[in-house]
Each structure stands twice: as C-alpha cells, then as structure tokens.
A and B are shown apart, each in its own frame.
Chain A
Amino acid sequence: MSFDIFICGVGGQGLVLLTNALGRACLKSGLKAVTGEMYGLSQRSGTVSVHMRIGEDAHSPLISIGGADALVALEAIEALRYIEYLKKGGLALINSRIMHPPVETAGLVKDRTKKYFTLEEAVSRVKRWTSRVAVINALATAKESGNPNAENTVFLGCLSALRELPLDPEKVKEAIAEVVPRGTVDQNLKAFEIGMRMASEALCDFGVCRNLR
C-alpha cells in the first residue's frame, strides 16, 4: 500500500519546500517516499503540481488517475484542475485563496458581462467528486503566524491532522525546522500548529482526524 498525496498550487506558493518537508519527515520515519514534481515553464504564477507518494509500494513518481488519498490545493481553482487524480471520496484540503490568472482578468475587461470563477463554484464542484472537502483560509493563518509566505506550512499542519497520514506530526515539525529559512522557523511552526488545529475540526466531522493532545 502507498499513501498518495496530490499537491498543487501556483508558482511561488512554496510547493517545493512543502514537498521537501514531507519527504524529510518520511525519511525520519523510515518510510520510502517518491515524488514527481512539475514546476511549469514560468518561475511564478503558473500551475505547479507535485505527486507525493509514501510507502514501500510506491514505485512510479506519478499517481494513477483516481489514486490520490488526499488532494492538497494551495489555490482553489487548481484543486479542480487536477481533480481526476483524487480518489472518489478522498480528502480535499483546499485553500480559500483564489488567484485569478491574467487571461481570466483579460476576459473580464473585454466582456463586461463575464464573471470570475469563484471559490464557491470551485468548492461546490469538488464536492461533487468527494464529500470530504475542507476549505482552509491559509493566507489569513499564515499572516496570523507572522509570515504571509507560510501558506505551505499551514497545509503541512492540515495534512498532519489527518489520521491516515503515516507520519508523526512531530517528525513533520522537525523537518519544517530544517527546510525553512533560518529566522522563520518559529513563524512556520506556529503556522503549522494553527493549520493542524483548524483542519482537525473539519477532519473530525469526516471521522478522519488524528487525536490531538
């Protein structure tokens, strides 16, 4: 068996760091981990995706269609973009942040009757795929922790609240402390803690939360 997480977002949101922290936590836990990372053509603002696979049975760096146990979307539209990778009924952790791509805004300027694709629309469509959807305001949480760039660690916290994640949250925290820039460790660990507590409520409703002390 493997535990498969599909992580997606927008270039600049720190998916590589998020992946590194998870991978290091696997190493600390004696677990095999393999990833397939796609950064896209542009350095920022393009779509970014990571296939994160944990377990002895994880061979390919790519998750099969309908194979991901969890989908982590640091941007809401991106959750929908890769929805086919999530198992039916799998867990979707979605940032409430929407970043409208320039091509969408350009369309609105050209045709004033057009409307933006909304968070509500994205979430309601994901809910037609799985009932287990948690929407997280990671940007606000990151700001609250003192570092608006810590959306990625908020989601590491959210993931760590999931009972099926085969990683001890303490190991994830250790890994975070090793990969984030020195001087931001405390902020990131705070973001992690708040993220874990926030997600825990939603995940308990689905019956998949970890017992938090």
Chain B
Amino acid sequence: MVLSDVVSPNKGKAFMLCNEAIARGAIEADVKVVAFYPGAPTSEILDTFSEALGSFDYQMQIATNEKVALEICAGASFAGFRSLTAMKSVGMNVASDTLFVLGYTGVRGGMVIVMADDPHAHSSQSEQDGRFFAPNSYIPMLEPATAQEAKDMVKEAFSISERHRVPVIVRTVTRVNHQSGVVELEEIRRSGFSRARWRDLKEEYLTLGEVARRKKLRMLERRASLEGEFEKSAFNHVLGGDAGAGTGIVTSSVAYLHVLEALKNLGISGKVPVLKLGTTYPVPRRLVAGFLKGLGGAVVVEELSPYLENEVAIIAKDENPGLRIFGKRSGHFSEAWELNPDLVAKGLASALGVPYEDKSGIVEEARALKEGMPERYPTFCPGCPHRGTFAALSQALRALSASGKGYYFANDIGCYSMWVFPPISNADSSLCMVASVGIANGLSNVVEERVVAVVGDSTFYHAALPAILNAIHNRNRFTLLVLDNSVTAMTGQQPNLSTEFTAGGREGKRVPIEDICRAAGAEFVEVIDAYQVKENVPVIRRALEHDGLAIVVSRRECALYGDRRKRRRGEKITPFYVDKSACRRPYACIRDVYCPAHEIDGDGQPRISPELCDGCSVCSRVCAFGSIRRAETEGERR
C-alpha cells in the first residue's frame, strides 16, 4: 500500500486495492469510529485504517472479536458518529446476535458494515453465503463489483444509513476485496471530532417483548421505504441489448464483471440486456419486474446460493409467469465454488443458444503437463514458532501413542491450521474459530483417548474463554495448547491483546494469557518457549498425562513480525547451515520440522537455503549430531 494515496486530501486517481478504496471512501465520508477483528479477505481494510491513523482524527479499535467490533460501531452510531466495521461473513456469525437487534433498534450516525464472503473457500472454513443475513435482519445490503464501486457504495451507505436510521451492509466477495484498479479520489474534508452530549441525543435503543413487536412493524415500513429508494438507485442499471422477447441477464457483484467478459468472449457484447443490481436487499421489485417484462428468458448469474434467482422467480410469478429462468436450479451454474469468465461464458452460451468454444481440452492438456509436479500446500513460514511447538508436540504425542493411550487432536483456525496439510496432516477436527476447545469439553468425557486442543493468542481472546471456564468449572480433563505468537499472524500480523501496542502503533495494554487462566482457577498452566524443542517435550508430556485441564502456553513472536522488529532495530538475521562433515543424514531436521528452507542436495545431505532461512534454530535443536550451525561467515552461507 502507498499510504499517500489513502491520505492525500486532494482529488485525483490512484491504483488501489479494493480494501484500500473502501478505507479511502470511509475517510472521505468523514467516518469517526472504526473497529475490526481481522479476517481474510477484509484484513487490509483494518491495515489501511491502522496505517492512516496518524493522519486523521478517527478513533480505531482492533477488537477482541467481530461482535465487539460491531458493538463499538453501534455505540458510536447511537451517539451520532459515523462508524464502520469490516468482517468476513463467518465473522458475522459471531457478530450476528447484535446485528439482528440493530435491525430493531436502528442507529443514528451512519453505520456501515463491510461483510465479505469467500466463494471457493480460498481462506475460510466454508463457502457461507452471507447475503441471507440482510433479509433475515431487515438490514439493507449493497454489493459492489469493482474497487471504484466499493468506494462509492461505502460513501453512499453512510447516507442511506442516516436517512433510514439503520446500519447498511456492503457485501463483498474475495474477488472484489482482492481486486485492484484505478480509483477516483475525491477531496477529503474532515469535520473535526468533539464528544457528543448524550442528554441531547437521548433515545431508547432497546427491544424486548412488546417493544420488539412494535419495532418489527417499523422495520417492515423501513424495508418498504428502502425498496422505494432503491428503485431509483444509480447502483442498479440496465446495459445494452434490446429486450424484445429474447433472454436477459440478471447479475450482481463480481459475477457482473465475469458476465461482461463472457459476453465479449462470446462475441455478443451489447446484444443481450443485462440488469446489474447493486442494491440486493431489499431487491427493487418494480425495477426487476420492468426488466423481466417481455423477456422470454432470464439468466441469473451469481455466486453461491440462488439468492437473486429466488427473487427473480418470485417477481416473475406475477409479472411474467411464462419466463424461463436459467441459473442454479436449471443446472447452468453451480452453487459450489466461485465463478470465472469461462464458467459464465459456458452457462450463458448454453442458456442463450450461442456457440461456445469449450476449454476442457486446454485444461486437460495442461493437466497432463503437470503430471508428477509437486503440490505446494500452505505451510508454516521459515522461523514460524509453531514449527518448534509442533516438533515437541509430535514427539510427546508419539510417546502417548506408544503407551497405548492414543489421542484426539482438535485443531483450530489460525496459522496452526497449516498442520492439517501434507506432509504433516495431523488433525481429527478443525471447525471454526475456537471450536477446538468446545469440542474438547464434549469429547474428553466420552472417548478413552486424551483430547488435545489448540488455539492461538488471537483466538484465545476472541472466544476461547467461555469454553475454558466451562472446562475449569466442570472439571473436564484435556490438554490445551495456546500458541501465543504476539499478533494475529495469519491475517497479516495485526496487534491483539497479546501485543503491547494497538492500531496505528499506539500503546496497548498486554493481557497475559497465563494470568487469565490461573486467575480463573486452572491448576496446570505452563509457559514454554516455542523454539526450545527438547526442553518442551517433557512439559507437554506432563500436560498430556495431567488428570485435569492442562494448559500449555507456547510463546514466541511470529517470525514475520519479529523480523520486522529486528530490521527496525538494525539487527541482522543470521541463517543456519549444515556442516556436511558432521551430518549423518538421519533427516530429523527435515522429518520433524518440514521447513521450506530445507532441501536435499545432490549428495543426499540436507541443505539450508540462506535466502529462506530465518535463523530460528529449531532444526539445529532436533539434530542429534550438532551438525546444523549458525552461519557466522559468508562462506558458511553458501
């Protein structure tokens, strides 16, 4: 990111990631409070606000979880301040308890919730379709396709929010968030911040029983007035083609861009009418009805569930009962995985009856060329402290298995998730943020094996505490590893409660994990240094044998975060090398650590790439012959 593009007060143009454009849009809209819990593909929104914090007067909190982030924004909005949060849609699952109530209570200052889905589950545990949060909570939803549109929509969302006194969801998908493009910058004119007086703004933000029943009616009225407004919204438009009695296309989000590309590739650009919807809840029914009128068929192009397709079917039932609908149900598109220009071209060609040059031959030819090519699974970075922790855990678990006891390993969401991928492939379960500890509470009472659960520092604060307290209170017996690497590493090393600073590099109070556990009454709490593999094995073995809840906090800062700090202090990173004369080739350095910096060279000996080695020392600690040493001279680095 080039910070000057985000903070420049002037009009202009910039090449920006959509997530940066979203932040810029909110800053142009004079947002006053932002709060986040990071999650791909939205994390760069947080990062951008954090970097730009020094240039503006907005308040920013990196919250313990998405629900708290949403509530921080709601609180600010109650007092009349514009607020924005961003989360992935699985984060919205955590925040949704509050979201649903905000539909009832409404807000005052413009409140925008950027919610990102991840079709294809590129960096998520599921392909959840978050669009259904909008109709379910009666909260309006906009869907951008490009970085420019995302910025425009975020700005307009603040106004919609204030006009209708309701939060607005701007729903994105990975291919929108992680899309860069040329974006128009408008002037930044900030209004300055001063505290509001609640007594001047006082209003009731509550809902229960009779109050909820009354407010439900108001929500229905609000939906009607939002729909009326969206009928005229510039975010919806019809493109090209003469409707006639032909077939039209209804689409939204990134699927719209794939449609344009596909029409071009099929040689029918401008010949087929396209209704691009930007306001997808409430759907402007009169606009859609007008588009469908007179059409013989409608192709609905969208990712994941048939959300728009359902709307089109319902509208067509009254307005154009004979309309043929092509979409998920007709088999033209799948509910699984993300779309791309080729899949869209194929579906459109079939629905429109135009020739399509099938690409499966090319794909097949490419597949043949890839025969025997190695996979490159996500893995721990060189220097990652988890590699050290897991090297010790592996040894301890092997001992447990050898004793006949066996184990159940509950993995979780974080960098430690990489342990589920080959060549390690060790996990009995991995569900969602902190489910590991809840699962352990249940499983540990019903299986013979020892249950081992893992969480990270960020996940610990996010939602592990209720499950840990449950374990302490109910005297459940399992082993919990808390891998504390000081930051929320997987999403880009954002600070969290384990970091001594917070957003914008400002000072934050560190909340030590072991103190919380001990204060809550956990009897076995040990803190280890992730790199000290040999010393850690007996500690973890004791934790596996302990007749009760055993918590091991394995601590060592994330290597990427640590390296940045080292560079800032002017410290050099010294790689390790293999002393070939001492190496007896037991390959423990490879088998126990699986580091990307390790290779086998021509004579069958391990070799450490000096470009990749982070100097963490873990491989040297598992070598029984002491043949892996720190490369102090240039010669040793080759």
Contacts and interface: CB of A to CB of B under 8 A. Distances in A.
Contacts of B490: 41, 43
Given A33-B15, A148-B611, A62 B340 contact: yes
Interface string B261-272: 100110000000
Given A36-B175, A60-B340, A105-B590, A42 B180 contact: no
A201 interface: no
Interface string A86-112: 001000000000011111111111001
Interface in B440-496: 489-490, 492-493
Contacts of B379: 42, 45-46, 101-102
A207 to B, nearest CB: 25
Select the residue from B181, B381, B490 with max chain A CB neighbours within 10 A.
Answer: B181
A109 B261 contact: no
A65 B342 contact: yes
Contacts of B104: none
Interface in B6-32: 13-15, 17
Interface in A52-79: 57, 59-67, 77-78
A34 B180 contact: yes
Interface in A126-144: 126, 128-129, 139
Nearest to B146: A34
A60 B374 contact: no
Interface in B278-331: none
Given A35-B180, A44-B596, A47-B376, A59 B264 contact: yes
Interface in B112-142: 122-123
B258 interface: yes
B417 A64 contact: no
Nearest to B380: A42
Contact of B376 (A101, A108, A148): A101
Contacts of B122: 38, 40-41
Interface residues of B, number: 67
Given A26-B182, A109-B600, A83 B378 contact: no
A32 interface: yes
B423 A106 contact: yes
Nearest to B370: A80
Given A37-B179, A57-B264, A83 B366 contact: yes
A23 B15 contact: yes
Interface residues of A, number: 65
Contacts of A77: 373-374, 376
A102 B379 CA distance: 8
B340 A43 contact: no
A101 B376 CA distance: 6
Contact of B377 (A46, A62, A83, A179): A46
A95 to B, nearest CB: 12
B15 A41 contact: no
Nearest to B14: A27
Given A27-B15, A46-B379, A60-B260, A41 B418 contact: yes
A199 to B, nearest CB: 22
Given A104-B374, A109-B600, 5 more contacts: A27-B182, A37-B178, A46-B378, A61-B254, A84-B362
Interface of A: 10-12, 19-20, 23-24, 26-27, 32-47, 57, 59-67, 77-78, 80-81, 83-84, 88, 99-109, 112, 116-117, 122, 125-126, 128-129, 139, 148, 178-179
Interface of B: 2, 13-15, 17, 40, 122-123, 146, 175, 178-182, 254, 257-258, 260-261, 264-265, 340-342, 345, 359, 362-363, 365-366, 369-370, 372-382, 415, 417-418, 422-423, 489-490, 492-493, 560, 587, 590-591, 594-596, 598-600, 604, 609, 611-612
24 contacts: A23-B180, A23-B181, A36-B175, A36-B179, A38-B122, A42-B381, A43-B492, A46-B377, A57-B264, A59-B260, A59-B261, A64-B261, A65-B342, A77-B373, A77-B374, A80-B373, A81-B370, A83-B369, A83-B370, A99-B612, A100-B599, A101-B377, A129-B366, A178-B2
